[in-house]
């Protein structure tokens, strides 16, 4: 919950692009939360610095915004009927895909065998 709400997020451009930017899936166009999907993925694959222990910001809300719906669900058990179990699973899969894509990229970038190497083909 503490990562929810509008705020400034700073990414290295190359990292942001490697993540695919903010997810553009129709699900997020309908419900919002694309920043959350990217933010959650980021916490699983890198170090995230926060200012949680410092003075916060004045946050202006609009009725029905993603953060309000999330707070209502957590604090008052008021579930948004549009947020189904299937849609939550779909959102989690999108976040998981971001994580997997970056981990695959890390494997490639962290390779010890950099450069051109001969590859021997064996035909049977």
The tens digit of pLDDT for each residue in 22-33 reads 888 888 888 888
Residue 124 lies inside a defined structural domain of this protein: no
H helices present in 1-124, as ranges: 13-18, 26-31, 34-45, 66-76, 85-109
Residue 41 lies inside a defined structural domain of this protein: yes
- 82-114 pLDDT, tens digit per residue, is 889 999 899 999 999 999 999 999 988 888 888
Residue 121 lies inside a defined structural domain of this protein: no
Q: How much is the pLDDT for 65?
A: 80
Half-sphere exposure of residue 38, counting CA atoms within 13 Å on the CB side? 19
Residue 116 lies inside a defined structural domain of this protein: no
Residue 120 lies inside a defined structural domain of this protein: no
14: alpha, beta or left? (left if phi > 0; alpha if psi -120 to 50): alpha
**Residue 98 near residue 34, CB atoms below 8 Å:** no
Query: CA-CA distances (angstroms) from residue 107 to 26, 39, 94?
Result: 30, 21, 20
Residue 5 lies inside a defined structural domain of this protein: no
Domain that includes residue 46, residue range: 13-107
pTM, two decimals, is 0.71
Residue 55 lies inside a defined structural domain of this protein: yes
Residue 4 lies inside a defined structural domain of this protein: no
Residue 4 has pLDDT above 70, yes or no: no
Please state the domain count of the chain: 1
């Amino acid at each position: 919950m503490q990562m929810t709400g509008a705020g400034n997020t700073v990414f290295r451009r190359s990292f942001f692009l490697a993540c695919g930017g903010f997810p553009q899936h129709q699900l997020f166009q309908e419900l919002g939360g694309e920043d959350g999907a990217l933010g959650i993925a980021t916490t699983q694959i890198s170090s995230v610095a926060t200012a949680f222990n410092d003075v916060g910001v004045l946050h202006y809300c609009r009725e029905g915004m993603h953060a309000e719906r999330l707070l209502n669900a957590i604090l008052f058990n008021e579930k948004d009927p549009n947020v189904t179990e299937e849609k939550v699973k779909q959102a989690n899969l999108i976040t998981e895909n971001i994580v997997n894509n970056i981990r695959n990229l890390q494997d490639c970038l962290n390779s010890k065998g950099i450069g051109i190497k001969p590859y021997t083909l064996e035909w049977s």
